[in-house]
Structure 1
Amino acid sequence: MFWYTVLRYIVIGLYHLYFNITFEGTENIPKDGGNIFASNHRSYQDPVFIALPTRVPLSYMAKEELFHQNVFFTLLIKAFGAFPVTRGKGDTQVIDTSIEKLEKGRNLVIFPEGTRSKDGKVGKGKTGVALVAAVAQVPVVPVGINFEGKLKFRKRVVVRFGKPIVPGEIGVTATDPHSLRTIKNEIMKNITELVH
């Protein structure tokens, strides 16, 4: 935690120098760990944007291809909490890994859309985030990452955090298809409201 805190403040300074970045709704960020942050997906910088105002270390799913680029990059993203997910397949191991991270007190970042949006519009999302939330029964903090065009020097970026969604509080305590759709739809609705 000591080195994570030191590195976090360094990265905060660098990102504020490079981007014109602001954070809204930071009062909705839980002070403890074991929460899911569900966000729209705009760029490879998204995990960092979400991590900057949060004090508890994050873990996040990353497409498997990123772990085969080069040894240094693989070690780097693993050090920052990334673990691989095979897209388009029923990867049950990633669900187990996600729940394990939450139980260890880490926060978990999930991008329900599964891929980056080129036009900034929020897609329908997949039920993976709902399954993890329903099994672990942990709060889901919706996040909206906002910027126009491509990321570049001094680009204005607004990251909005919504109120946590607790599966039990919206009447979901099971993992049947209807329950998972209910959670997913609630999460995606809240993310969409934060993207404008």
Structure 2
Amino acid sequence: MLTALFSLLTLLPARPRRAVMRQVIDRVWKRYADMHVQGREHLPLGPALYVCNHLSNADGLTLQRALAPLRIWFLAGVKLRQTAMTRLATETVETLFIRPGSPDIEALRRAVEALKKGRSVLVFPEGGRSRTGALLRAKKGVSLIAHRSGVPIVPVALTGTERMLPIDERNMGGERLHRARITVRIGPPFRWEDLSEEVHGADDSRQAMADAMMRRVAALLPPEYQGEYRQLPETRLPATGTQRAPSVPSPGVPSSH
């Protein structure tokens, strides 16, 4: 049913298409997502680089709601343009497309420019959805964005979206929705320079920096989700004086965050 609806929506002009799609997505999330957000007091007021684990094609739309009313730009893989469902969904959020698995310097440059212009950007440093739910090794590109932008970095951890919209390797456009409890945990912001001691002396400083960032995401996840970062030394989250946003409930999210 949804597949047929998405096919019909592609026939509409851009503006009404996005408006209808937003309504459809809002109804879908109210029906299928039992969403709980923790740590909203950590959200900075200004631009920030958000780094999060990646489980499902539902992640971006879930995070858009969890981080509201903040306006976030998402760095997303170009293959999301390949099916009607995913292409229409990306139209409802601000998206910077990147070619996963390749050093897409132009996409990284656009992300840095967006941050320098005062926008916030969210990156999935693993470069793709985890097929097991456990963290994959981060790609180096996220360290380049963090270094060149100089903005606060906010770790975010997701659980449950892999059950809401499981990966279908045979047909990404036909992935099916299921009711699921989703938890979004937001950690304290940190700065590039806060990681200097962790990466000092590393053979590959960019990879070491990406790993240090992902350890902070792993610290927000249950052990079974920590994957590549479970056995690495525990990282103490740094204190920060970064200005915070007031804690306010996001639409459709229980106030007991």
What TM-score does the superposition give when structure 1 sets the normalisation length?
Answer: 0.81
- The CA RMSD over aligned residues, in Å, is 2.9
> 1:13–1:25: structure 2 CA closer, same or farther, 3 Å change rule?
farther
Q: Check the 8 A contact 2:37/2:185 in 1, yes or no.
A: yes
Aligned counterpart, 2:220: 194
State yes or no: 1:126 paired with 2:127: no
> 1:107–1:69: structure 2 CA closer, same or farther, 3 Å change rule?
same
Aligned counterpart, 1:38: 51
Structure 2 residue matching 1:180: 3-state secondary structure: helix
State yes or no: 1:168 paired with 2:193: yes
Q: Check the 8 A contact 2:157/2:185 in 1, yes or no.
A: yes
Moved more, 82-91 or 113-122: 82-91
State yes or no: 1:85 paired with 2:110: no
State the Cα deviation string for residues 60-82 of structure 1 (Å, max 9, x = none): 12212223445x96465245211
Shift of 1:129: 0.8
Q: Check the 8 A contact 2:100/2:128 in 1, yes or no.
A: no
The number of residues matched between the two structures is: 185
State the Cα deviation string for residues 98-131 of structure 1 (Å, max 9, x = none): 0111122221111011111122111111111111
Moved more, 74-83 or 96-105: 74-83
Structure 1 residue matching 2:60: 3-state secondary structure: helix
Q: Check the 8 A contact 1:127/1:184 in 2, yes or no.
A: yes
> 1:147–1:40: structure 2 CA closer, same or farther, 3 Å change rule?
same
Structure 2 residue matching 1:150: 3-state secondary structure: helix
Higher-Rg structure is: 2
State the Cα deviation string for residues 17-72 of structure 1 (Å, max 9, x = none): 4311101111111122x2111110011111122222322211112212223445x9
State yes or no: 1:53 paired with 2:66: yes
Aligned counterpart, 1:3: none
Structure 1 runs, 4 residues or longer, greater than 6 Å off: 7-13
Shift of 1:169: 2.7
Shift of 1:9: 11
> 1:149–1:128: structure 2 CA closer, same or farther, 3 Å change rule?
closer
Distance 2:76 2:50 in 1: 14
Give unpaired runs (5+ residues) of structure 1.
1-6
State yes or no: 1:180 paired with 2:194: no
Give unpaired runs (5+ residues) of structure 2.
1-20, 165-176, 223-257
Tell me the percent identity: 24
Q: Check the 8 A contact 2:66/2:184 in 1, yes or no.
A: no
Aligned counterpart, 2:78: 64
State the Cα deviation string for residues 133-191 of structure 1 (Å, max 9, x = none): 0111111111110128621443111111111121023338xxx9744233212211111
Q: Check the 8 A contact 2:103/2:141 in 1, yes or no.
A: no
Structure 2 residue matching 1:194: 3-state secondary structure: coil
AA of the residue aligned to 2:182: V
> 1:165–1:92: structure 2 CA closer, same or farther, 3 Å change rule?
same
> 1:104–1:13: structure 2 CA closer, same or farther, 3 Å change rule?
farther
Q: Check the 8 A contact 1:137/1:168 in 2, yes or no.
A: no
What TM-score does the superposition give when structure 2 sets the normalisation length?
Answer: 0.63
